[in-house]
Structure 1
Amino acid sequence: MVLKEPLIAFFDRLFLRDQPEHFEVGGLPVAFTLMVMNHAVTSRRWPVVGSADIPEELRFSPKFCKQDELSGILSIYHEIPELAPLYERYASPGECIGLETAAVWEPEHVEDRLRDHFRGLPNKWVEQLKIT
């Protein structure tokens, strides 16, 4: 489900291609939410298959963790409208546990990750981005 650009939520459920245009996604578990390159949708690589209201639980801006390549310093990256469109602050290692690493994903890497997710396999792109 396309959220606020560039965020896309990926559900922990496979959908059939012939599903009706409007379907209810509220309450479905989310496998992960990522920042994804626009061309995944604008190029029609990922066709629009329907529309639905964004569920309340997905209307927030998720936090992402970043690690400076040189210093190793960690930070939390997210949107706080009252402070700044994009907000970043220092973080402890514990604060990054369970957070996605801040990155804008290419569609083919997301597709690899989805395949691995549904097969129960580790994903090489997630491993490559892992905070150390």
Structure 2
Amino acid sequence: MIKQNRVIGDFLEIKLPNGKLAYARVLDKASVAIYNVINKKALDISEVMKHDMLFTVAVYKDVIVDGRWRKIGNRPLEEGLKKLPMKFIQDELSPDFFELYNPNNGDIIPAKKEDCIGLERASVWEAENVEERIVDHFNGKSNIWVEKMKLK
């Protein structure tokens, strides 16, 4: 794998375990947005950009800089991708205690369970778990990691 820098706006090609390709976009604060598309052959950036986002998660830096997800180009972020979505925190030891995490500025505020519905849990994902999540989505199957991190 070729070393590469992590640059906001980069498009990344993800080789999936099923042999298909998926695409991500580098966002601010360790986050990536995964596009709602997979294909057998490589797509160019303009084709990838026609698709909506499937989900947004934080990933470990090595996923990008070590070249596991290959950089295929860069474009300035569209306005809708500049603000990261809120995340929720649920205390494992006190599962009735909730907080909202704003990845844009690091603020954490108390919350009610209903405030957390529909949000991703604040976490950092490994490459293989994101790849598995993408494959499961396109196979119409629930994903073990999404299920483990669901609001309880």
TM-score (norm 2): 0.76
Unaligned runs of 5+ in 1: none
The answer to whether the Cα contact below 8 Å between 1:17 and 1:49 also exists between their aligned partners in 2 is no
2:68 aligned with 1:45: yes
Q: What letter corresponds to residue 27 of structure 2 in structure 1?
A: L
Paired-residue identity, % = 34
TM-score by length of 1: 0.87
Q: Tell me the residue number matched to 2:81.
A: 58
SS at match of 2:114: helix
The question of whether the paired residues in 2 share the 8 Å contact of 1:78 and 1:86 is answered with yes
- Give the match for residue 117 of structure 2: 97
Structure number having the greater strand percentage = 2
- Pick the aligned partner of 2:98 from 74, 78, 86: 74
Partner Cα separation in structure 2 for residue 29 and residue 36 of structure 1: 19
TM-aligned CA deviation for residue 43 of structure 1: 1.1
> Unpaired segments of 5 or more residues in structure 2?
1-24
Residues 68 and 74 in structure 1, CA contact (< 8 A), matched pair in contact too: yes
Offset at 1:40?
A: 0.7
Equivalent residue in structure 2 for 1:87, among 76, 92, 107: 107
> Cα RMSD over matched residues?
1.8
